[in-house]
Amino acid sequence: MEVTTSHYVVLSTLLMLVGVIGILTRRNILVLLMSVELILNAVNINLIAFSASQQQVHGQVFSIFVITVAAAEAAVGLGILIALFRNKHTVHADEIDLLRW
Amino acid sequence: MMDLVFTANDFHVLKPAVVLCLFGCGILLSDAFLVRRTGKRWLNAVTALVGEAIVALVVLQHLSDVRAGGAFSGLSGSIVIDGFGVFFNIIFVLSGALAVILSVRYMEAEGEHRGEYYALVLFAQAGMSIMATGNDLVVLFVALETMALSFYVMVGFLRRSKRSNEAAMKYLILGAFSSGLLAYGFSILYGIAGSTSIEAIGTAVAERPDGDWVTTLALITTSVGLFFKISAVPFHMWAPDVYEGAPTPTAAYVSVASKAASFALMIRIFLSAYGSAAESWMPLLAGIALITMTVGNLAAVTQSNLKRLLAYSSVAHAGYILLGLVAANDAGLRGIAIYILAYVFMNYGAFALIAALRRDGEAAEEIDDLNGLAGRAPGYTILVAIFMLSLAGIPPMAGFYGKYYIFLGLLREGYYVLAVFAALYVAVAAYYYFRIIRACWLTGSGDKPAALDLGLGTRVALVGSGVLTVVIGVLPQRFLALAGESVLLALR
């Protein structure tokens, strides 16, 4: 069977849904950050699949920017998580309850 | 083959962001090598203000260029300087400068007065400046993230405060989630058009058949991402937490500037890229606007914390601004512009009032903390009245004209039901804004009253915003004309 662009789009949609479900159901902040990465990787699959199907380089360039942004987001996210852990000694979203979530 | 030479024109369109980034880096360096040795922390704020002044000159230069020769673009059309972008850049300069002025005293009192903060204010503004002028998905996405990443750090800047940590964590998770969805929508738009340029996408979307599921998926993911950013219901739950936990000047900056930038992005994407699919998103936006106003206004009534109250009121304001996009005619879009301009002054004013309130050296943020201020600080009370009346949209304050033009836009398009609901909610909003004014006259429960800690910066910000809120309200012609120039993306 030949792998077409629509296969990639289905894959990326599934990956995005896994990320969205992770954000909505998991309570460990590290897992939440991982779920965000899954969504951004779904974006990358899309971009590269479209880029290949249209014989263009734009999508690949876009995906490099997305990877950069994902790295920056992870860095800032982990930094904030460390600050939070120093004060509260937990990475569990349910125990982070000073503000009404 | 595209022309890949970097010209003077390319530099000209990028100038605001370039100046902001240079000054941001300059603050980081001077803070590390000069300011920390001399201990004169306020120098960082002065450097930031000099940067804002230069950006203001550049933006005025852009404005006169646009007035003389119409919109122009640079960097292969990925950045467009038009009346719309220039108008939003003016908003960002005003809010960036106000954020710097307000922060000096507040950060000093909280013991976190460091140079990085001012650098982040400028970096966030650089992102917003490109968000309002960008015309290409890659540029817009990177600009959005530049803004958002700076804001996450600023919200968590009080690193010893658990509330600030928590607010930053929530903001980051939900913000990154919404950016991810938005990027997913962008990737599908790229797939549809085979180009990242907004115009090319607009043409490609117009050629898709009606009810096409790919376009619908792109529309849904981008809208959800944008609804998060403007804190529209049901994606608003981060706003009260973030505003309560963040340093008060940052909360003001997030509520005004990040919202304005997200609206700029939203207006450009909806009117240019999805312009042809208006029939499918108009009902969606109208519904979201309606529940946003309902939830924002009703939740604000029950709040006792001033920052949470302002957060819900800002959710409600987002609903009103969305209505301008639902109308999408000249009056509606002009209404959005004048609404956001007035919102800068009245909301900064309101947050500055809170930033000045202290009880035993701690930040005081409850409505009851205002008790007894009418007798002790009449000037402060007058400002409370001005900002609250303006937020409620009562003439002759600035907040009135935004609502007026948005309602006018709705009526011209025949959205009578929406206009009636929007007008009814103004009455609800008046209730909780008047509650704040009334609190100043109550004597309170016998506790020691809250003290006012008004530094020079806070005084300047308060009086400046107060005067402008009244001036825009009393002499609106010039400001309405400026708002009119920002309406270039006429849809119908």
Degrees to nearest 5, angle at CA B225 with B490 and A74? 135
Strand locations in B201-341, DSSP E?
none
In this predicted structure, the answer to whether residue B286 has a pLDDT above a threshold of 70 is yes
Least confident of A12-16, B25-29, B363-367: B363-367
Question: pLDDT grade, residue B491 (50/70/90)?
Answer: very low
B434-481 residue pLDDT tens: 999 998 888 765 566 677 878 888 899 999 999 999 999 999 998 998
More confident residue, B376 or B173: B173
A25 in contact with B, Cβ within 8 Å: no
Count how many domains chain A has. Answer: 1
The residue of chain B with its CA nearest to that of A62 is B138
Strand locations in B99-197, DSSP E?
none
Per the domain annotation, does A81 fall within a domain? yes
- Which residues, other chains included, contact B457 with Cβ-Cβ below 8 Å and sequence gap of 6+? B45, B101, B102, B103, B104, B105
The candidate with the shortest Cα–Cα distance to B393, out of B287, B321, B322, B289, is: B321
> What Rg do the C-alpha atoms of chain A give, in angstroms?
17
- Mean pLDDT for A24-53 is 93
pLDDT at position B445 is 59
Peptide bond before B378: cis, by omega within 30 degrees of 0? no
pLDDT at position B169 is 93
What is the CATH number for A42?
1.10.287.3510
Prediction ipTM score: 0.95
A46-59 residue pLDDT tens: 999 999 999 989 99
Least confident of B5-9, B27-31, B235-239: B5-9
More confident residue, B446 or B75: B75
A88 in contact with B, Cβ within 8 Å: yes
Is A76 in Cβ contact with B194 (below 8 Å)?
A: no
Continuous H helices in B328-415: 330-356, 373-376, 378-392, 399-412
The residue of chain B with its CA nearest to that of A17 is B181
Is A50 in Cβ contact with B194 (below 8 Å)?
A: yes
pLDDT at position B492 is 35
- Choose from B4, B145, B169, B238 for mutation: most chain A CBs within 10 A: B169
Distance CA B152, CA A80 (A): 8
Pairing of strands B79-81, B72-74: antiparallel
Question: pLDDT grade, residue B1 (50/70/90)?
Answer: very low
Phi-psi region of A2 (alpha: psi -120 to 50; beta: other; left: phi over 0): beta
Per the domain annotation, does A60 fall within a domain? yes
B460-473 residue pLDDT tens: 999 999 999 999 99
B82-111 residue pLDDT tens: 899 999 999 999 999 999 999 988 888 888
The residue of chain B with its CA nearest to that of A38 is B180
Per the domain annotation, does A100 fall within a domain? no
A65 in contact with B, Cβ within 8 Å: yes
Residue of B183, B195, B241 with shortest CB distance to A66: B183
Share of chain A above pLDDT 70, in %: 95
The answer to whether the beta carbons of residues B145 and B185 sit under 8 Å apart is: no
In this predicted structure, the answer to whether residue B371 has a pLDDT above a threshold of 60 is yes
A16 in contact with B, Cβ within 8 Å: yes
Share of chain B above pLDDT 70, in %: 97
The candidate with the shortest Cα–Cα distance to B93, out of B67, B66, B57, is: B57
Average per-residue pLDDT for chain B: 90
Distance CA B189, CA B317 (A): 29
In this predicted structure, the answer to whether residue B359 has a pLDDT above a threshold of 80 is no
pLDDT at position B278 is 82
- Mean pLDDT for B264-279 is 88
The candidate with the shortest Cα–Cα distance to B92, out of B321, B258, B325, is: B258
pLDDT at position B110 is 85
Residue of B168, B180, B241 with shortest CB distance to A39: B180
In this predicted structure, the answer to whether residue B490 has a pLDDT above a threshold of 60 is no
Q: How far is B288 from chain A (nearest CA, A)?
A: 21
Per the domain annotation, does A26 fall within a domain? yes
Size of interface A-B (CB pairs under 8 A): 134
A86-98 residue pLDDT tens: 998 887 877 776 6
Tokens at residue B378, please?
């009449």
pLDDT at position B273 is 87
pLDDT at position B298 is 93
- Which residues, other chains included, contact B377 with Cβ-Cβ below 8 Å and sequence gap of 6+? B452
Task: Give contacts of B137 with chain A, Cβ < 8 Å.
Answer: 62
By three-state DSSP, how is residue B296 classified? helix
Per the domain annotation, does A90 fall within a domain? yes
Degrees to nearest 5, angle at CA B93 with B34 and B314? 115
pLDDT at position A37 is 95
Task: With residue B267 as reference, give the H or E element that holds it.
Answer: helix B259-268
Distance CA B492, CA B475 (A): 30
Average per-residue pLDDT for chain A: 90
Task: Give contacts of A46 with chain B, Cβ < 8 Å.
Answer: 184, 187-188, 190-191
B interface with A, Cβ–Cβ < 8 A, is 137-138, 141-142, 145, 149, 152-153, 156, 159-163, 165-170, 172-173, 176-177, 179-181, 183-184, 186-188, 190-191, 194-196, 217, 237, 240-241, 244-245
Q: How far is A11 from chain B (nearest CA, A)?
A: 13
Query: A90 lies in which domain range?
Result: 5-95
Per the domain annotation, does A101 fall within a domain? no
- Mean pLDDT for B116-143 is 95
pLDDT at position B377 is 86
Is A69 in Cβ contact with B179 (below 8 Å)?
A: yes
pLDDT at position B92 is 97
Task: Give contacts of B159 with chain A, Cβ < 8 Å.
Answer: 83
Is A83 in Cβ contact with B165 (below 8 Å)?
A: yes
In this predicted structure, the answer to whether residue B202 has a pLDDT above a threshold of 60 is yes
Tally the C-alpha atoms within 13 A of residue A34's C-alpha that lie toward its C-beta: 10
